């Protein structure tokens, strides 16, 4: 079964939710996150990037994970991101754990399983889970769960093939 997204909703009926960003994350913490993420985006050393993200951002990153150059993780809640062992996050991909809307903001964890490939320029929205062994094609928008061992692609993402059945 494919779930859509697991999100927490916070109404802001009298003002644009983006103006409330200081309520969802402390400004000094956000500045620290921004600095670490900006350094990490340009670091060619995968080990150093993983160390910085684990230690200073609280991300849960498994062994032998590769996060590509220019990949962007959530600036407000990077600790809500988990990436399983041996997964690869492609160049210039984005992983978000928050969304701002005119009358509310939303928060949700992002879980990426083991041995997952996220293609370049992919956006992963808050509250989604990508199962072990899944392949997400470059340029996709992950707006719902991706089951384990499937090939998913498109905007929005669609499940194209079960990888276990095709081998």
The residues, ordered by sequence, that sit 6+ positions from 89 with a Cβ below 8 Å of its Cβ are: 65, 66, 67, 68, 71, 83, 95, 112, 118
- Please say whether the beta carbons of 157 and 144 come within 8 A: yes
Tokens, residue 54:
């684990």
The residues, ordered by sequence, that sit 6+ positions from 27 with a Cβ below 8 Å of its Cβ are: none
Q: Are strands 110-112 and 81-83 parallel, antiparallel or unpaired?
A: parallel
DSSP 106: E
The residues, ordered by sequence, that sit 6+ positions from 42 with a Cβ below 8 Å of its Cβ are: 69, 70
Residues identified as active-site = 98
- For residue 26, the tally of other CB atoms under 10 A from its CB is 12
- Please say whether the beta carbons of 107 and 7 come within 8 A: yes
């Amino acid at each position: 079964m494919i779930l859509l997204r697991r999100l927490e909703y916070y109404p802001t009926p009298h003002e644009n939710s983006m103006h409330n960003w200081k309520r969802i994350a402390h400004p000094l913490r956000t500045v620290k996150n921004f600095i670490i993420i900006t350094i990490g985006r340009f670091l060619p050393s995968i080990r150093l990037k993983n160390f910085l993200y684990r230690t200073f951002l609280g991300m849960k990153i498994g062994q032998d994970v590769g996060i590509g150059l220019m990949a962007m993780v959530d600036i407000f809640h990077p600790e809500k991101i988990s990436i399983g062992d041996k997964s690869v996050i492609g160049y210039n991909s984005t992983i978000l754990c928050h969304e701002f809307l005119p009358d509310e903001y939303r928060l949700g964890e992002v879980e990426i399983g083991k041995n997952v490939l996220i293609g370049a320029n992919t956006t992963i929205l808050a509250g989604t889970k990508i199962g072990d062994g899944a392949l997400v094609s470059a340029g996709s928008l992950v707006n719902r769960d991706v089951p384990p061992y499937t090939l998913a692609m498109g905007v929005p993402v669609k499940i194209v093939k079960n990888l276990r059945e095709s081998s």
